[in-house]
Structure 1
Amino acid sequence: MAPIVGDPGPARRAPAPGALAAVQAFINSADLESGDEELADPDRLRAWLAGRELMREDEPLSEATLERALEVREALRELAEANNGHPLDPAALETLNRAADDARLVVRFDRDGLPRLEPDAPGADGALGRLLAAVFAATADGTWARLKACRNHTCRWAFYDTSRNHSSRWCTMAACGNRLKGRAFRARRRAVGATISKSGGEDRTRGAR
């Protein structure tokens, strides 16, 4: 599989390295905040996968295949969220395991004698298998843990965390980090205000007695 440059996202972060960039781009093919969808129909899915050399352009795709592909995409987003401290949904694992079965992933050895996962299935099943194989390889080389989904639940954009201690939580501090910090600050102020108001009311009641 040829290396693909993924979408660096709203923060203009560097994309994930190597084949993991295709996984990142696949997750980000849906912008949850704007509602933009790159894979709106089977033809667009075919063009997307073929453009990244994950399948041949002349292979057919159905609506059912599109639905399965979108389920795999959101399951991968769940995995990226788990890399950012979110509880992992068991249903996402079931989706990915089914996709791995459909892809018929097997171990192959390259010319240097190094093993890798490759799909035996053709078409979209094989293409999705190549994305799962990229996740497997990234887990082995330590890069997978750095692919995260933004903690802003309305965003969930996949970004590659290049910080030394793997501490990045948002796709960008300017867009999501400051927004969520502002929400938390306002919530704390409201909580403090409510406590003070309640305390003042109790004091006035005691004074009236």
Structure 2
Amino acid sequence: MPLPAELVRDFVNTFDVEAQTDELSSPADLALWLRARDLISPRDRATDDDLSTAHALREGLRAALRREAAQLPALPLYVQVREGEVPELVPAGGGVRGGLAAIASAAVGAAWDRLKVCAEGTCQWAFIDSSKNRSRSWCSMRVCGNRTKTRAYRARKRGSRPLQGSNTDTV
């Protein structure tokens, strides 16, 4: 299983906001995705209800990454307390709901100071900020950062030009 932050990032990125494509468009797709990450067994199958829960979890996590209040769906989790260790949330069962619960549990253990969503509104791609001071705003400076900065530059240039057809000379 991937590290908690990577699992959350990858799960959130199953929906591409810009392209409007969903990697989890059917219960079978959800089961394949979870199986590929060893979150469910080969015999587990997803239902339409599981898919709805997965979509709600994904968008709740995306909202949380935007630092907005987020409501996550109810999943089978319990607090495990071991002597001398920090309590942790763990899935209370197996199957697809248990796999989704493992993702929710990973969100609790993820490095939230490093896990972010791209500030470019049309993108919303989740990424892990590996910058030294944790100040990265975009998934890619080359694409989204450039797009945002170019848009801001053009808006400033439009605001500084006199209106076309106006006479700025005074008589």
> Given the two structures, how large is their TM-score scaled by the length of structure 1?
0.73
Q: Aligned to 2:134, which of 166, 176, 181?
A: 166
1:102 to 2:75 alignment: yes
Look up the equivalent residue of 1:197 and give its one-letter code: L
Cα distance in 1 for residues equivalent to 2:98 and 2:129: 28
- 1:80 positional shift: 1.4
Aligned to 2:121: 153
Q: Which runs of 5+ in 1 are unaligned?
A: 5-17, 83-87
SS of the residue 1:148 aligns to: strand
Aligned to 2:4: 19
> Pairwise mapping of residues 65-104 of structure 1 onto structure 2 (< 5 A)?
65-82=50-67, 88=68, 90=69, 93-94=70-71, 96=72, 99=73, 101-103=74-76
Cα distance in 2 for residues equivalent to 1:41 and 1:124: 13
Aligned to 2:45: 60
**Whose helix fraction is larger, Structure 1's or Structure 2's?**
1
> Given the two structures, how large is their TM-score scaled by the length of structure 2?
0.88
Cα distance in 1 for residues equivalent to 2:154 and 2:91: 50
How many pairs align?
A: 171
Aligned to 2:100: 128
Look up the equivalent residue of 1:160 and give its one-letter code: I
> Pairwise mapping of residues 181-192 of structure 1 onto structure 2 (< 5 A)?
181-192=149-160
Q: Aligned to 2:87, which of 102, 115, 118?
A: 115
| 1:24-76 residue CA offsets vs partner (Å, 9 max, x unmatched) | 11011122222332111101100111111112232232112212211211111
SS of the residue 2:127 aligns to: strand
- 1:110 positional shift: 5.9
Q: Quick one: structure 1 residues 178 and 69, their matched pair in 2 at CA, closer, same or farther if it must change by over 3 Å? A: same
User: Could you tell me whether the CA contact under 8 Å between 1:148 and 1:161 is conserved in 2?
Assistant: yes
1:36 to 2:57 alignment: no
Aligned to 1:197: 163
Q: CA RMSD in A?
A: 2.2
User: Could you tell me whether the CA contact under 8 Å between 2:5 and 2:128 is conserved in 1?
Assistant: no
SS of the residue 1:59 aligns to: coil
| 1:74-96 residue CA offsets vs partner (Å, 9 max, x unmatched) | 111111122xxxxx1x4xx22x1
SS of the residue 1:54 aligns to: coil
Aligned to 1:12: none
Q: Which runs of 5+ in 2 are unaligned?
A: none
Cα distance in 2 for residues equivalent to 1:122 and 1:177: 41
